Amino acid sequence: MKKLLLFAFAACALAACSDDDGDSRVPATAVVLDCTEKELAVGETLQLTATPAPANTTDDVVWSSDAEEFATVSESGLVTAVAAGTAKISATYGSVSATCTVHVSEPDPEFEVISFETSEGMLDAAEMPVELRDVTIAGDWAGGDFSKVLCGKEYMMDEDFNGTYFDGLLFTTADKKIGFGSYFTDNKYSSYGASDVWGGFVLSQNFSKRSNGGSADYSKDGFSAWATAGANASATFAIAYDNGYGVYNYHTPKVEFTEPRKVAYLYLANATVAAQYTSRVEN
């Protein structure tokens, strides 16, 4: 506020001795939210959009929640339901604001929420607690050093015409009732030279919205999601990739259930390398 007052004073002083029309600030006179009331279950999110008037206002939006113990809101207007209760989410431009009332309830007990956080007790291919690690991928075009990843490279055992490979369930839920398949090979007999190839699922904690003007950069973003966080602001997520190796079981992304399940919903985002193909914005 002090900076705003000083700027206004300087502008007025300049107007007194010149032909300048004065303060260039365009204050907002109204603001509208795309949602004014919403019911969320704990863990769900809601992206709010605020539209100020006039459109050319120089005021910036400030998001706030009057009850962060029930729902929080990010600087971009993403609301996250924290606990059962009611919170009012406000978007404020200067002296005007609009509010969305969010009613948070406990999740429907009929549904089981599955995330990939370590707290969920996920098991890896060796039936040990999942641990994301550093991995070095061989190859000229997709090789590089990656961190915070779980892929099939360390579980390769079998030999075939490509070399050593892994083709199985890379990670499962703690009760082993849901499994996520993955394929990985060192491809050491390739005509292109030794290179690592994977398909199916991996786990990662890497996010990137770096644009390369339509050119994918596997060496930096091979295990990255085009997002700023996982679903419901989670840190760990699964990346799916179909590599086209049709002779294996898990070269395509497969989720296996040991008993029938009804899937209520999935949170999906583009992989960074896929998003880069459609991007036209230079770094």
In the prediction, which pLDDT does 269 show? Answer: 82
Phi, psi of 206 (to 5 degrees): -105, 130
User: Residue 202: which pLDDT band, with cuts at 50, 70 and 90?
Assistant: very high
Contact 171, 224 (CB under 8 A): no
- Given this model, what pLDDT does residue 147 score? 95
The CB-side HSE value for 259 (13 A sphere, CA atoms) comes to 3
What is the pLDDT, as a whole number, of residue 279?
Answer: 57
Which has the closest alpha carbon to 38: 128, 119, 100?
100
DSSP per-residue string spanning 103-152: EEEPPPTTS------GGGT-EETTSSB---EEEEE-STTT-EEEEEEE-G
- Please check the confidence at residue 215 and state whether its pLDDT lies above 80: no
Query: pLDDT at residue 4 above 50?
Result: no
Q: What is the pLDDT of residues 55-110, one digit of tens each?
A: 999 999 999 999 999 999 999 999 999 999 999 999 999 999 999 999 999 876 66
CATH architecture for the domain at 26-105: Sandwich (2.60)
- pLDDT, one tens digit per residue, over 239-278 is 999 887 778 899 999 999 998 877 767 778 888 888 887 7
Top mean-pLDDT range of 4-8, 12-16, 165-169, 261-265:
165-169
Tokens of 219: 């060496």
Burial of 132 (0-12, 13-18, 19+ CB in 10 A): buried
Strands (E), 173-233: 178-185, 197-204, 206-207, 224-225
Q: Do the Cβ atoms of 145 and 104 come closer than 8 Å? A: no
Residues 120-154 have pLDDT tens digits of 899 999 999 999 999 999 987 788 899 999 999 99
For 185, the 3-state DSSP assignment is strand
Residue 231 confidence (pLDDT):
72
Q: Is the confidence at residue 2, as pLDDT, over 50?
A: no
Question: What is the structure's pLDDT at 135?
Answer: 95
pLDDT at residue 19 above 70? no
**Which pLDDT score, from 0 to 100, does residue 176 have?**
93
Tens of pLDDT, residue by residue over 26-57, are 999 999 999 999 999 888 899 999 999 999 99
**CATH 2.60.40.1080 domain extents, the chain:** 26-105
